Structure 1
């Protein structure tokens, strides 16, 4: 198999060897059901408690405010639907943004069909929410504000602290989808006035199929999955003990290395952005230049189509994406890129490259060298590019 340069870490990450090692005994040696009363299940109970404590400490939260789920999408659905149901007597108005992950947007569509009113805040050309627009959108019947911590496609980090303050000043519950940010950015739920937070293990070198929802103590949210007393009677179903153990280990390592990883990734990200912007003409950087996730670079190349670009990169052993992995089968341009003002024809030529702490400068150089040749080749076949060049020669 040819060497692969993996630059799609926003889609998923490689599970760390230490995480796999921590999980294995809970498949073969400590395989008891943690809800059982006999002593054989004790290691499983203790492992769940330890992982819950690790996650809580990473957020400045309490152990009993962490609820394990199967990932970010479930956590997002739970946060929105349970809040809507529990606080419907107060109001049926929810505020979110136009650039949320589809786990939020599609859940909002579901709620709209059930009588709730959703305000979708616009964003500026960098993908940032306006605090003034948020304040204007608040109504007496607003029960929830849900704004992602950092965008999964263009990497822009939102003014979460200010949003949380505004929500609390107005007695409104504040949820943030932190799937891309958790273990990549320092987050303290009290400092940011966050009431609910979603995260997913496979975004920070943990296993797939496990995540969590932080729910501030005192929120009157109903159970999301019915049928058992697990997760303090709020999320039924036998716990995924190996997955939760793996998530806990990934959080432990991720938090210990957060600052070093962030520094390294930022330097490599800026190097990547600099080379692409300097060496490939008619290219736009999507998202804020500096106020973005340390590992995220998203470009729009004029006169080419993103799918062809990805296929040719793959032929060179380079893994990237054109946006969210959850919409990779769609032929429509990214809703995020349209929201920041890109026309359809440019939004179709987008490329997201997301790094990890294992990415090297040599890999970045090879990727940019390949990218330059591919873009040049695709533009040579583009009648739009040919027309553009002819017009600009006159």
Structure 2
């Protein structure tokens, strides 16, 4: 059976070059980076070289990066550290954030009595920046604003420069979950002064189980995990050497080919939109998916004019991998909290599908998908 992978926002296939780097590291670079002998020093040197390489892509110092097991750990580390060590008593976010943020702030509210305020979003899931400023102006409390750069379900791109300026005006810390942005957009943290960002390598053709967090100088991080002094004391646990080197390679490839790849994938997304519109004038698009500038070129969230609980299953039977809500919900059938936050009850009941693309997606893949959608929707 022909198989088509259109779920790249949940994970991406690894570059062959990444696999080669990791395989070589497994064979030659097996020392514990905390050991003082030559094998340990070699492993430690490899990690620090990767840290310097990654830092250069964001115009920051390598000392500002902490390697983690992925984006979820990085988000947790940042949010918990802000409360425990940076005197934050109020967090402002939205109801359309990734659960790595939402569930963590709920935990902090319960355990630490932190105030949680939600910024309004409009019918397209766009963050209301005027409301954000109102919330910040309403209290002089030490505040952290947590807003994701690219929404993982609808692809909306946050105007981070504007948010950064608003946060600076009110002396608030700014954390952005950049998991869906890194490897797909250029981010210069000198021109856009975000205080904290997060990354997960498997979102940009790297290995699973590794990522990093960035923190602005002066905003030191204390560990959630205890038992060792790895990562400058910020994250106890033996570093995943091979995965870190793989992440470094994946980011190098992604950034060096960014202009060509983004144009290719954008053209695919535009083509798919055109074909979907031809399929039925009743097909609509959630969030800002239709906007090729204000939404990610890798994500398209489509609302079909049916209520069909078997829709994703039927696509899977046809060999097409897509996602409904976030794949990070581990099979949860609760529906998308993102779409529920801004769609009407009637529209929320309809079948919405997130299609997400990569440089390995082809026009033939999308043509095959359109043909299968015709059969599922019973369009002649």
> What TM-score bracket applies, with the shorter chain setting the length?
over 0.9
Q: Kindly report which structure 2 residues correspond to 1:38-53, keeping only aligned pairs within 5 A, or say none.
A: 38-53=37-52
Q: Kindly report which structure 2 residues correspond to 1:316-327, keeping only aligned pairs within 5 A, or say none.
A: 316-327=318-329
Map of 1:21 onto structure 2: 20
Map of 1:96 onto structure 2: 93
Map of 2:129 onto structure 1: 131
Q: Distance in 2 between matches of 1:99 and 1:54?
A: 32
Secondary structure in structure 2 of the residue aligned to 1:247: helix
Q: Distance in 2 between matches of 1:171 and 1:239?
A: 34
Query: What is the CA distance between 1:142 and its match in structure 2?
Result: 3.8
* 1:23 and 1:243 in contact (8 A); partners too: yes
**Which blocks of at least 5 consecutive residues in structure 2 are unaligned?**
none
**Which blocks of at least 5 consecutive residues in structure 1 are unaligned?**
381-394
Aligned length: 374
Q: Distance in 2 between matches of 1:187 and 1:344?
A: 38
Cα deviation 1:254-273 (Å, max 9, x = unaligned):
11011111111111101111
Cα deviation 1:127-148 (Å, max 9, x = unaligned):
2111101100112114200100
* 1:301 and 1:346 in contact (8 A); partners too: no
Q: 1:246 to 1:347 in 2, by over 3 A?
A: farther
Map of 1:70 onto structure 2: 69
Q: Kindly report which structure 2 residues correspond to 1:131-280, keeping only aligned pairs within 5 A, or say none.
A: 131-138=129-136, 139-280=139-280
Query: What is the CA distance between 1:247 and its match in structure 2?
Result: 0.5
Give the TM-score, by structure 1 length: 0.92
Q: Distance in 2 between matches of 1:342 and 1:270?
A: 26
Cα deviation 1:179-233 (Å, max 9, x = unaligned):
1110111111122211100110000000000000001111033222211111011
Secondary structure in structure 1 of the residue aligned to 2:310: helix
Query: What is the CA distance between 1:176 and its match in structure 2?
Result: 0.4
Map of 1:302 onto structure 2: 305
Query: What is the CA distance between 1:347 and its match in structure 2?
Result: 4.4
Map of 1:390 onto structure 2: none
Map of 2:343 onto structure 1: 341
Q: Distance in 1 between matches of 2:39 and 2:17?
A: 24
Q: Distance in 1 between matches of 2:178 and 2:346?
A: 28
Map of 2:35 onto structure 1: 36
Map of 2:376 onto structure 1: 374
Q: Distance in 1 between matches of 2:260 and 2:40?
A: 38
Q: Distance in 1 between matches of 2:94 and 2:107?
A: 16
Give the TM-score, by structure 2 length: 0.95
Cα deviation 1:63-84 (Å, max 9, x = unaligned):
1001000000000101111101
Q: Distance in 1 between matches of 2:348 and 2:276?
A: 16
* 1:129 and 1:159 in contact (8 A); partners too: no
* 2:222 and 2:233 in contact (8 A); partners too: no
Q: Relative to structure 2, which stretch is displaced further, 278-287 or 65-74?
A: 278-287
Cα deviation 1:284-329 (Å, max 9, x = unaligned):
1012122111111111112222x41111111111111102111252
Secondary structure in structure 1 of the residue aligned to 2:223: coil
Alignment of 1:315 onto 2:314 = no
Map of 1:83 onto structure 2: 82
Alignment of 1:356 onto 2:353 = no
Map of 1:389 onto structure 2: none
Q: Distance in 2 between matches of 1:302 and 1:142?
A: 45
Secondary structure in structure 1 of the residue aligned to 2:197: strand
* 2:157 and 2:296 in contact (8 A); partners too: yes
* 1:84 and 1:143 in contact (8 A); partners too: no
Secondary structure in structure 1 of the residue aligned to 2:121: coil
